[in-house]
A and B are shown apart, each in its own frame.
Chain A
Amino acid sequence: MGVVTSLGAGKADNWKKLTAGESGIRTVTRFPIDGLKSTMAGTVDFVTVEPSSSTALTERLADISTEEALAQSGIGRKGDFPGPLFLAVAPVEVEWPQRIEVGRAVGKAEFTVNDVLAISGGGKFASYHHRFMFGSVAGHLAEKFGTKGSPISLSTACASGATAIQLGVEAIRRGETDAALVVATDGSVNPEALIRFSLLSALSTQNIPPQGASKPFSKNRDGFVMAEGAGTLVLESYEAAVARGATVLGVVAGCGELTDSFHRTRSSPDGKPIIGCVNKALDDAALTPGQIDHINAHGTATPENDKMEYIGISAVFGERAKEIPVSSNKSMIGHTISAAGAVEAIISLLTLEHQRIPPTINYEVPDPAIPFDVVANVARDARVTAVMSNSFGFGGQNASLILTREPI
């Protein structure tokens, strides 16, 4: 496994800070924040790329987390990974710095789209074509790490990271491969992305202090905080991993997925799709709710999400919903969007390894409508054998994973 978040690069650094309740959220310095409603984010500021673009940063973050994961796994050889790539990545677009550069090349103050087209060809901006193809990050990773076959880039919004894991698990279960490289990455804190989420009223506007903005399950929560990060998992069939003497870090015991056809940004008010998704994951793992002893929540801190997550979980878990320790990593690292499902699965696996649950910070005013046993503000030691990690996203995308330390 490998991970990068606003807290740092690598599992060791992230785990230390997560269990200390540190926040990676800070006021954005990458670009001017004048006039913005939300001015903080979990940016990965210690990694820079030239020429700068969100897609280039997305790619670099994936490189870092993948190098860490491959080094730990000891699988394959350098540049020769023995299996396919499944990549969760944000949709790609030409970005403003590049747009401005092309605009300047027109060479006049007033211009039309035809003037822009007239100077776009001829090779001067050929690198922009490659950079802003949707398949560019996957193409780079496949070449660099030598994954086999056609790499799959996918987006299921905030569930993307979990879906990538699910695709890898399915390929292994079908017997197509013994190993799969699962990467989820997002480096897309740029002005337009921040403004777009802001216009949907999805972001917290509690800008001061920035590290206090993300308040999952609190009564005074008001939205999520955009963030960047990447997570990589080397998935292997259990038999193949044991046979090559690999250290097994955990088991993906079950995956569930169910689409909500209610609304583009809102969950079905009856919670049925979430309930169905969680039940599918439990069925797939052949576990009962009573055997889950920690939930790594989606917990975005939007008023709607956290409420719906409780409604869905309590419908499946009954009274136990109030007793299982629940925590949201997003209180500290923000919402890493396309990467979140994998980053949080990795944190869940670290939780299993260390038998310690990272806290939900900023939990000062509990929401009485969400009577979860929130791991409030400080990490908690606990006996954890099976973790449920949830991802519920825009476009009705719901995915749940169940992770265990040992095979069950």
Chain B
Amino acid sequence: MNEPKEAWITGIGIISSLGEGLDAHWDALNARRINVDEKRFAPYVVHPLAPVSFDAQIPKKGDQRQMEAWQRIGTYAAGLALDSAGVKGNQEILGRMDMIVAAGGGERDVPVDLSILQAYIQGNASPPFLNERLMNDLRPTLFLAQLSNLLAGNIAIVHGVSGTSRTFMGEEAASIDAARIALARIESGQSDIALVGAAHNGERSDLLILYEFGDFNLKDKFEPVWARDNHSGFALGSAGVFLVIESREHAEARGAKPYARLTNVVTDLAQRKQPGAVTKSLETLWAKLGVADDNALITGATGVGSVTSEEKAFLRGHPGTAVRATGTSFGHTLETQFPLGLALAALSLSRGALFPPNDPTGLEVEMSKPPTQIVVMGAGHWQGEGMALVEAIK
């Protein structure tokens, strides 16, 4: 294979509980702002999406109606990323752009589910009952609004991204692999430009039920991620993050300005039945990146006891590293957490500063010098580990 091509992050689109766009996020992070709602889904804590006018990126109401909230969030963020890269509406580029979306599924119609469930349990359970209710109560369009690959489908329809389209699934790891594959395709010359990202709607009772099965939800009271030793769990967050990644030569040819360089993405599937497997996996991944200890690391640490304590053990081995946990400010956004880390790393590098710590435990320390390298780390709440190296372009 030829020398790998250099890949630049040239577009960032982000909406979250802290607002919309790069300036809003930079200001919120520097002000250590956290938008958390302890009441709406009490006792569960969530980070609600900041108000967004979806019309700005999804002009047709008909398109918006065909989407579930997570698809609107993602399609909106994808539009911001294309704008940020200066390729919105550029049919020549969009027609050959790679798209890799990391996706879960859409929200159930919970009132419908509950009403069917109650009637069923109350003994109205003749054989045709479930069929009849589903036939009558499910909205035909809801299926498409829930299907994982239809976030990519909607981005294609609304923004015209129509080169390749791949949807990866599998919680946190899905987006780490999305970034890895996009980078590998660009480095090898299989592709010049890619749109990569994910979206998550954390304000969903069906998701709370799913994660409650595994006792993963943060309850009663918000605490920063590193302060959950006796109060394990994640607070679901809402966010959409997309990045435009392209080869340096492609970016330079069209005069695009980079935020940062994406140098490496490495992933693993630790066999977590072994205690210490995550710490060991992270050490192995760190060694593959070949970075110095005196730089910065942005982690998507969940706050879930076992895995977060293994991350802490790993970080203790790298005491010179300035750490930031996105989970404190944004909550846990599953597939979106890793692209969020990449976006904040690129943003920090482009602004010549790491945003300040937001952590009463002292694990996160100030970083006075401008970062030159930021490692983005992800360890999924139940499986999947990965890291990326994002570097400043001088």
Contacts and interface: CB of A to CB of B under 8 A. Distances in A.
Interface in A190-213: 191-192, 195-200
Contacts of A171: 184
Given A128-B213, A129-B214, A150 B268 contact: yes
A321 to B, nearest CB: 24
Nearest to A256: B164
B276 interface: no
Contacts of B167: 154-156
Interface stretch (B15-23, B127-135, B246-254): B127-135
13 contacts: A32-B131, A34-B131, A36-B131, A94-B206, A99-B117, A109-B118, A121-B215, A126-B213, A128-B213, A134-B170, A195-B135, A262-B157, A264-B153
A155 B132 contact: no
Interface stretch (B26-34, B173-181, B355-363): B173-181
A332 B279 CA distance: 50
B130 to A, nearest CB: 6
Interface string A101-144: 01110000111110011001111011011101111001100110
Q: How large is the interface on B (under 10, 10 to 19, 20 to 34, 35 or more residues)?
A: 35 or more
Contacts of B213: 120-121, 125-126, 128-129
B164 A259 contact: yes
Given A156-B166, A273-B162, A200 B140 contact: yes
Given A35-B135, A259-B165, A153 B170 contact: yes
Contacts of A32: 127-128, 130-131
Nearest to B214: A129
Interface string B357-392: 000000000000000000000001011111000000
Given A154-B169, A195-B134, A261 B162 contact: yes
B273 to A, nearest CB: 9
B282 interface: no
Contacts of B212: 117, 120-121
Contact of B128 (A34, A175, A260): A34
A352 interface: no
Given A134-B174, A261-B162, A122 B157 contact: no
Given A135-B173, A170-B185, A35 B383 contact: no
B171 interface: yes
Q: How large is the interface on A (under 10, 10 to 19, 20 to 34, 35 or more residues)?
A: 35 or more
B56 interface: no
Contacts of A99: 113, 117
A151 interface: yes
A265 B144 CA distance: 9
B169 A134 contact: yes
Nearest to A200: B140
Sorted nearest first, the 3 A-B pairs with minimum C-beta distance are A135-B170, A395-B153, A34-B128
Given A129-B214, A174-B184, A196-B138, 8 more contacts: A94-B209, A104-B121, A116-B209, A121-B217, A129-B211, A134-B105, A200-B144, A264-B153
A191 B131 contact: yes
Contacts of A244: none
Contacts of A153: 168-170, 174
A57 B140 CA distance: 25
Contacts of B148: 91, 134, 155
B169 A91 contact: yes
Interface of A: 32-37, 89, 91-94, 96, 99-100, 102-104, 109-113, 116-117, 120-123, 125-126, 128-130, 132-135, 138-139, 142-143, 149-157, 163, 167, 170-171, 173-176, 191-192, 195-200, 257-265, 273, 394-397
A78 B296 CA distance: 41
Interface of B: 1, 44, 66, 99, 103-105, 108, 110, 113-114, 117-118, 120-122, 127-128, 130-132, 134-135, 138-140, 143-144, 146-150, 152-154, 156-157, 160-171, 173-174, 176-177, 180-181, 184-185, 188, 190, 205-206, 208-217, 267-269, 271, 380, 382-386
Given A96-B130, A258-B163, A394 B147 contact: yes
Contacts of A92: 105, 169
B152 A395 contact: yes
Contacts of B161: 259, 261
A192 B162 contact: no
A367 to B, nearest CB: 26
Given A130-B214, A155-B167, A394-B144, A100 B382 contact: no
Contacts of A264: 66, 144, 150, 153-154, 157
B333 to A, nearest CB: 15
A129 B210 CA distance: 6
B118 A110 contact: yes
Nearest to B334: A134
Contacts of B271: 143
A264 B65 CA distance: 13
Contact of B143 (A149, A170, A196): A196
A192 B139 CA distance: 12
Given A129-B211, A133-B171, A154-B166, A93 B138 contact: no
B121 A100 contact: yes
B125 to A, nearest CB: 9
Give the interface centre of B103, B110, B162, B213 by most chain A CB atoms within 10 Å: B213
B386 A150 contact: yes
A16 to B, nearest CB: 34
Contacts of A121: 212-213, 215, 217
A94 to B, nearest CB: 6
Given A113-B114, A134-B174, A152-B177, A163 B131 contact: no
A100 B117 contact: yes
A122 B117 CA distance: 22
